[in-house]
Amino acid sequence: RRPTRTRSHVSESSGSSDKDDSVGHFHGSPGDLLSDSYVILRESGTGTFGRVFACRHRKTGQLVAIKVVRRIKKYTDSAHVEAEVLDKVNREDRDGRSLCVRYYGAFEYRGHMCLVFEQLAESLYDYGKALRHRPMPLYCVQSFAEQLLKSIAFMASIRLVHTDLKPENILLKVAGGFSKVHAPTMRRDGRRSLAPLSTEVRVIDFGGATFEDAHHSRIINTRQYRSPEVIIGASYNTSADMWSLACMLFELATGDLLFDPKSAAAEEYSRDEDHLAQFCELLGMIPRRFALSGKHSKEYFNRKGELRHIKDLNFWPVCDVLHDKYGWPKPVAKGFADFLQPMLAFNPERRATALEALDHPWLAEVDEWPPKGTPGHDAVSDDDDDDDDAEEEEEEDETGDDESGDDDGADDAAAALEDDDDDDDGGSSGSE
């Protein structure tokens, strides 16, 4: 019997990492120059690819983010591909409808490929951390969904597959941290949540992006957002991004990963087979014809299209998961499940396109928030609290709602939210 699934928020990258991640990095400090044009303000991010620096143009004063790629051939090659993809996006997107990060060009400095972008704010992963991986307000999820569908529709129109859509690669456009709001969420306790100053987002990280007619890598996507056609080694196209988006939206709305496969301790089955089993448990059995259509299908399926090593499946449809595990009212759970499931069709040819999903009524069903004519992100007032600790909570709001948008903003917001929850629960952990 397979172990009970757990949900972690440590994502597995689609690429392999070097044994020594310190090799080939550019080392820069505030005040240093990046070429003759830019001065470094601070380091704002790091990864296996290199480092990102917040910079200011010395003549114009423009604030930008510069991705300085590690001086290693495979990362430099990937950066050249990313630059070519972004040049194509810029040519096709004159009016900003792509919602992709604005790319300003590239240059080489001391052997490092440097890509220059508009400066953005926190990622949706940072937002989730600020919420301690609890549900986001539904109006936020709805807004993110609509924008990302428009972005995928644009990419599909130029036959571009992003290949790595996930919360880390979706950035808020407006900095300013997070503040407490009373907004519709599916938290069981119905208490206040955190919301960004603006829900406007941009898609970043085109290092793994590919055009449909180009050579495709076998493995794409971070594990938890990977589509079935990729796992079995079948061909993939822009519909793989739709699968990733559905996984991400479930995560934003519930605080949990939709799929988080594990490999068996005794190696009775692989992590890929467990991933396929989780698909079946949530979405029903994979059609035999599709199951056997990939180059690697025989590793996971017998000739009947049944999983080779995992026989004990615990079926739990999306709507029931939302209702039973997360306490969503049945009509709300059904509406969201109906929105997600066409994006989770096993066969990519039958999977909903971005344009089709944009017509789904769920995008119009979530109540508008904040209400027109009211401040959207004010501290919660006494009148909104029903418990006897309203005055004490109001004092905490005064110290917890002032988000500066600096690097510690997400942690500060999470701490404020935790303090608030402790008061609401009488000092208990308030676990869901």
- Residues 73, 141 share a domain: no
Which whole number is the average pLDDT over 330-357? 98
- Residues 231, 105 share a domain: no
The answer, yes or no, to whether residue 147 has pLDDT greater than 80, is yes
Residue 425 lies in a domain: no
For residue 77, the number of C-alpha atoms closer than 13 Å in the C-beta half-sphere is 3
Q: What is the pLDDT of residue 177?
A: 80
Total of domains in the chain: 2
CA–CA separation, 206 vs 85, rounded Å? 7
CA–CA separation, 155 vs 238, rounded Å? 8
Residue 298 lies in a domain: yes
Q: What is the pLDDT of residue 393?
A: 40
Mean pLDDT of the chain, nearest integer: 84
- Residues 356, 210 share a domain: yes
Residue 176 pLDDT grade (very low, low, confident, very high; cuts 50, 70, 90) = confident
The pLDDT > 70 percentage for the chain reads: 77
* Count of other CB atoms within 10 angstroms of residue 306: 15
**Nearest partner of 429 among 134, 127, 6, judged by Cα:** 134
341 vs 416, which has greater pLDDT? 341
Tokens 């859509």 belong to: 165
- Residues 282, 183 share a domain: yes
CA–CA separation, 418 vs 432, rounded Å? 13
* Residue that finishes a domain, picked among 98, 118, 138: 118
The answer, yes or no, to whether residue 427 has pLDDT greater than 50, is no
Residue 245 lies in a domain: yes
Report, as residue numbers or ranges, the catalytic residues. Answer: 164
The answer, yes or no, to whether residue 7 has pLDDT greater than 80, is no
pLDDT tens for each residue of 123-132: 999 999 999 9
pLDDT tens for each residue of 358-384: 999 999 976 544 444 333 444 333 334
pLDDT tens for each residue of 269-287: 999 999 999 999 999 999 9
- Residues 150, 96 share a domain: no
- Residues 110, 179 share a domain: no
CA–CA separation, 409 vs 61, rounded Å? 25
Q: What is the pLDDT of residue 267?
A: 77
- Residues 304, 174 share a domain: yes
pTM listed for this prediction: 0.83
Which whole number is the average pLDDT over 25-36? 96
138 vs 396, which has greater pLDDT? 138
The answer, yes or no, to whether residue 4 has pLDDT greater than 80, is no
- Residues 270, 134 share a domain: yes
Q: What is the pLDDT of residue 179?
A: 79
Which whole number is the average pLDDT over 35-49? 94
The pLDDT > 90 percentage for the chain reads: 69
Backbone angles phi, psi at 350, to 5 degrees: -105, 0
> Which range marks the domain in which residue 98 is found?
33-55+62-118
Residue 144 lies in a domain: yes
The answer, yes or no, to whether residue 186 has pLDDT greater than 60, is yes
Which whole number is the average pLDDT over 346-365? 97
Cα 202 from chain centre = 11
The answer, yes or no, to whether residue 251 has pLDDT greater than 50, is yes
* Residue that finishes a domain, picked among 91, 118, 145: 118
Q: What is the pLDDT of residue 154?
A: 98
- Residues 157, 70 share a domain: no
- Residues 96, 164 share a domain: no
* Residue that finishes a domain, picked among 339, 365, 391: 365
The answer, yes or no, to whether residue 236 has pLDDT greater than 60, is yes
- Residues 195, 333 share a domain: yes
* Count of other CB atoms within 10 angstroms of residue 46: 13
